[in-house]
Chains A and B, each alone.
Chain A
Amino acid sequence: MAEGTVQGIAEVPQDFKGSATTGMTVTVLYFAALREQIGREAQELDVPAEGLAVSALLARLGAEDSRAATALAEQPRLRVAVNHALCAMSDMVRPGDEVAVFPPMTGG
């Protein structure tokens, strides 16, 4: 890919809302029961350059997908990790981050 060239950037339309081209996305991963309920294991989501709170990101996921809305609402004790570290609902997610959403862990 020839990303990063001046020409490439100039070609992005003014109303472009972000994609892999601009890097204004986060990768969202789902695990275990949540992955099965939502019916997929990963998706990309556009986020503002300044980022958004984890709680707002979850609301966006629910607003865009009814299965996600149901699954997230039914799982009262969701855990969220950003870049492999557990985080609070008020923590910020920024473009390029990897966000994982999953039920309480049951290892051992």
Chain B
Amino acid sequence: MRVAVQAEAFDVAAEMARLSSLSTLAGGISLFVGQVRGGAGLVSLTLEHYPGMTEKVMRTLADDAMTRFDLLGCTVIHRIGRLEVGQPIVFVGACAAHRGAALAATSFLIDRLKTGAPFWKKEEYASGAATWVEARVEDEAAASAWDAP
């Protein structure tokens, strides 16, 4: 289990290599990378977070995923600071004996991370306008869909 909050870019190949070498029982590794989506004149996002709580929430989330999906390992990396369109923001990886668990765990981790970890995005547009991103109802629904039935 690896959790990190960092300004610098992550190395997807290195993270993949780490997950794939965790165990000889590993049969499936699933990776998700989120990046800054452009459009409507968006130039960049600036990510703010709550140091201390962020790492704690991410560790708890990764712990939950390990247990819930019987993972062999998982990685969650979230960047902070100013990121331009096309730059990677978040990395989620899960390693399991079978693909189903790895894929499901990846969805679980990113869905819960978006609404449960204390990060906030501020958008900066070519026009000079700057606005805080509003939480999306769809994101909250995706996160709560993983709650116990």
Contact = CB atoms under 8 A, between A and B. Distances in A.
Q: Which interface residue of A29, A32, A33 has the most chain B CB atoms within 10 A?
A: A32
Nearest to B48: A32
Contacts of A104: 115, 134-135, 140
Interface of B: 34, 47-50, 52-53, 56-57, 78, 89-90, 110, 113-122, 132-135, 139-140
A107 B90 contact: yes
Contact of A100 (B53, B117, B132, B135): B53
Interface string A5-29: 0000000000000000000000001
Say which size band chain A's interface belongs to: 10 to 19
A106 B114 contact: yes
A81 B117 CA distance: 11
B28 to A, nearest CB: 22
A101 B54 CA distance: 14
A107 B56 CA distance: 15
Contact of A108 (B50, B114, B134): B114
B118 A31 contact: yes
Nearest to B80: A107
Contacts of B132: 32-33, 103, 106
Nearest to A107: B119
Contacts of B139: 106, 108
B109 to A, nearest CB: 10
Interface in A59-108: 77, 81, 84-85, 100, 102-108
A85 B59 CA distance: 13
B89 A108 contact: yes
Nearest to A77: B135
Contacts of B118: 31, 81, 100, 102, 105, 107
A105 B120 contact: yes
Contact of B117 (A31, A103, A105): A105
